[in-house]
Structure 1
Amino acid sequence: MKSKVKIRFANVHDVSKIMTFIKKYWAENHILANNKNFFEYQHKIDDKITYVIAENDSEEILGLIGYIPYSNEDKPDIATALWKSIDSTNPLLGYEILRYVINNTNSRIACCCGINTTTFLFYRKLGYTIGTLEHYYRLNDIKEYKIAIINDRKILENPTSNKNYELKEFFEFNKLLSEFNFSVCRDRKPYKSKDYIKYRYFEHPIYKYKTYGIIGDYGKCNSIIITREQCVEESRQLRIIDFFGVDDDLKHIYNALGELMCKNNYEYVDFYQYGISEDILNSSGFIKKDSNDINVIPNYFEPFVQKNIDIHFYISEKDNFYLFKGDADQDRPNFY
């Protein structure tokens, strides 16, 4: 007799089972399978675990999907995360789990970065848009590159860039709270609350993020960029992980970003994104990496893989939508 499958939200008593499932069916060395503290940092809110699981009569997990709410509002925007089904008797179980999380989290919109091409059909079945994050980079004017492979040394000039703009680092969230105008992000999708930003980028247990405010002509901070340094032996580069604020502010950071690169001896700065125009990013010195680009700008560093990587995504709505490498669980440690 075929076992009945139950789909439900996970709870704190399921954590060990979920971690064991990830270890067995996803990756043995995966951080979410081995580091309970990090698992709970990413997927525990009070006494709630942000996973949906499917289990049989014996309470064995047959499939699961993680999700990350961007706020604690009644209708939060969410990002889905690790998604796996092993039930060979029901090839649609994974899809049913996905629908469950979409329909039962009371979410306004949903998205994910890092989706597998084999899952595109399921997202399209839900009417969602599939895409690939645009990958931009800005090279430092140096003689040798060790992290990137540069076969075509392209450095954009912007002699008209506003030299009055500066990048100010915020070391404490309370200081950011007093200077950054969070209201400028309220209508963007997904909406990320102040609490989410604080928890995600100022309280991360492993990664150290650097937050820079874009300070304009009048000394106001209407935009911030979240960054993280990436090192390979003696070389390092800077990754823009998230952006909050006014797109046009990015036009004016050409000089300030160049100074930051020289000061810290970064090989380059890279930026995976969706939603910001190419013209704006060109003004700040970034070049879009397309299929004709013969340079290699790595994405994987744990372990380091010196190759170009596409990051695919889905979004449930198109208008005013922004996605970055910091969304979903793309920017997290791989190994415990």
Structure 2
Amino acid sequence: MTGGLCLRLARQGEEEAIVQFLDAHWEWKLPLVHVPEFFEFYYRPLGAAPQFALAEQGGRICAAAGFIRANACESPDIWASIWAADEAAPGAGMELMAALPRLANARFCAVNNIRKKVAGLYRFLGYDAGRLPHYYRLAAQSGHRVARVAAPRILPLPETGLALRRVPSAQALPGMFRLQPQLRPFKDYWYLSRRYFAYPFQSYDVWASETGGHLLCTRTVPVNGTNVLRVVDYVGEPGQFWLLGRAIDGLLRGAEAEYAECYCAGVAPEVMEKAGFCARGPKDEAVIPNYLTPPLYENTEYYYAAQPGGAVLMCKADGDQDRPNLPA
């Protein structure tokens, strides 16, 4: 209890009340809570109470914050997801978000794809916040149907590197990849298996380095008679991403894709460049579309926030991102 507010985790059976509150205090109906498969996958992965923190005043919900686990640990790393508050309860939303890591017993909390204007609120709460950098590598071909790059650059690849091996199943994952608990968020086998081998809407390809210390998750998207290779997750030492540059170029060619692209924070720009990836700045003339089905020929900026400390590594598919656009 703080200042007349009761801050607590949601209980089993409160799903309908949470959805009704979000419908009343969000600009539109959210597929994340109205599409049952989304709700179950993201907010009830353990089959019990929904993963929401609530602020109550006088027995009435006045703020709600959904969260998503990156692991099944007792003190998990989490991503904040949906966050809404009743304007009639000033400060309730901020108090709830400030308390979320404690309520969830979380070691670390981050949030992917926040609105730019909300970044200041997260900084006020002590988070680091900024733009999620965007990188791309063009295939060596005469023209491009999806990317719009007036002066194409194909950076040289590192002379050495590591081979990537396809991980055929969730069962094979522990034998091919060593967990990286030093990273924040820490993604365990439970999370990686669910997210990339049991996701109900999209299929992914999962790759482990020959040493077992790096994991790469990709998705090939057909568009305009060609393909785009999306690197949606990387789990490994941030400074070692360049070791996968040659192998990723091989995946690019194998997928017959016109380019590979990656949203990633935590890997230094010079490391991405060494891996053969060009940075797309927010004011670049190059257009690397984010929305591909159908293609929308404009750039999309993502912003994120993360509690400081440790090796923070944020990628496109973190939190509730890299999901299909479904009607609510």
Fold in common (TM above 0.5):
yes
Structure-2 residue corresponding to 1:156: 155
Runs of 4+ off more than 6 Å: none
Question: For 1:197, what is the secondary structure of its paired residue?
Answer: helix
Once the two structures are TM-superposed, the CA of residue 239 in structure 1 deviates from its matched residue by: 1.2
Which residue does the alignment assign to 1:222? Answer: 213
Q: Which residue of 2 aligns with 1:192?
A: 187
2:177 and 2:141 mapped to 1: Cα distance? Answer: 34
Aligned to 1:270: 261
Deviation, structure 1 residue 90: 2.6
Aligned letter for 1:199? R
1:316 matched to 2:307: yes
Residue correspondence of structure 1 range 1-336 to structure 2 within 5 A: 6-23=6-23, 25-26=25-26, 28=28, 30-44=30-44, 45-55=46-56, 57=58, 59=60, 61-85=61-85, 87-158=86-157, 161-162=159-160, 165-182=162-179, 185-215=180-210, 220-247=211-238, 249-301=240-292, 304-336=295-327
CA distance in 1, matches of 2:236, 2:165: 15
Letter in 1 for 2:313: Y
1:234 and 1:194 mapped to 2: Cα distance?
35
**RMSD over aligned Cα, in angstroms?**
2.3
Distance 1:250 1:142, change over 3 A: same
3-state secondary structure, aligned to 1:154: coil
Distance in 2 (CA, whole Å) between partners of 1:53 and 1:9 is 6
Deviation at residue 10 of structure 1 after TM alignment: 1.8
- Aligned mates of 1:145, 1:29 — CA distance in 2: 37
SS in structure 2 at match of 1:96: helix
CA contact under 8 A between 1:123 and 1:314: conserved in structure 2? yes
Cα gap change, 1:188/1:253 in structure 2, threshold over 3 Å: closer, same or farther? closer
Contact 1:302–1:335 at 8 Å: present in 2 too? no
Q: CA deviation at 1:153?
A: 0.8
TM-score normalised by L of structure 2: 0.89
In 2: Cα distance, 1:203 partner to 1:267 partner: 28
Deviations 1:201-260 (A, max 9, x none): 111111111101222xxxx32211011122334332111111112345432333332222
Distance of aligned partners of 1:27 and 1:168 in 2 relative to their CA distance in 1, 3 Å threshold: farther
Tell me the SS of whatever aligns to 2:252: helix
TM-score by length of structure 1 reads 0.87
Cα distance, 1:56 vs structure 2: 5.4
Distance of 2:115 and 2:206 partners within structure 1 = 30
- State the AA in 2 paired with 1:157: P
Looking at structure 2, the residues matched to 329 and 238 of structure 1 have their Cα atoms a distance apart, in angstroms, of: 20
Q: CA deviation at 1:152?
A: 2.1
**Please, which runs of 5 or more residues in structure 1 have no aligned partner?**
none
Q: 1:253 to 1:72 in 2, by over 3 A?
A: closer
Q: Any idea what the Cα deviations from partners look like across 1:104-151, whole Å, max 9, x if unmatched?
A: 112122111111233233222222211111111101112332222222
Q: 1:7 to 1:318 in 2, by over 3 A?
A: closer
Q: Distance in 1 between matches of 2:57 and 2:134?
A: 42
Counterpart residue identity of residue 305, structure 1: L
